[in-house]
Amino acid sequence: MIRVAISTLALVLAVVAPASATAAKPQADVIAVSYKQGNPFLDVVVAVPKHAAAGHGCATEAVRVTVTYIAQNGDVVTLDSGAVPIADAIPVGAIDEHTFAVDVQVQLGTASPPAANPGYTATAELVRVGGCEDDDD
């Protein structure tokens, strides 16, 4: 009876331990969304890990932002920045020794600008883009 319980406990630990030992995936978090009347874009300030700005082999770390808001014409609009390389975002400054803030400008395109009380909802995610290109030399 005791051997069965020990075997079961060992099996449970073997299944659970790898999941709990896995490092958390780096993430991006939206800090603020703003719009200045007349601009063709929204400013979305995003916190990203400092190491994300460094390339990984041939891939480039990027941030993808989506913003939903109520427009001046009453429509509910959702915009997607697509993958914006972190190196191309506007640096805002360090938050702490592990995190810094960047401004991602999300283009309005043909969408109506935000209303006076737009009720912004925004998300950000880190993505890798690009790959190795063959040398044409």
Burial of 46 (C-beta count, 10 Å sphere; 0-12/13-18/19+): buried
- What whole-number distance in Å separates Cα of residue 29 and Cα of residue 48? 7
Mean pLDDT in residue range 81-104: 93
Q: How confident is the model over 28-71, as pLDDT tens digits?
A: 999 999 999 999 999 999 999 988 755 555 558 999 999 999 99
Q: Where are the domains of the chain?
A: 23-129
The reported pTM is 0.74
Query: Thinking of the domain 23-129, which architecture would CATH place it in?
Result: Beta Barrel (2.40)
Helix (H, G, I), strand (E, B) or coil at 27: coil
Please name the residue that has the structure tokens 């994300």.
52
Identify the residue with better confidence: 79 or 11: 79
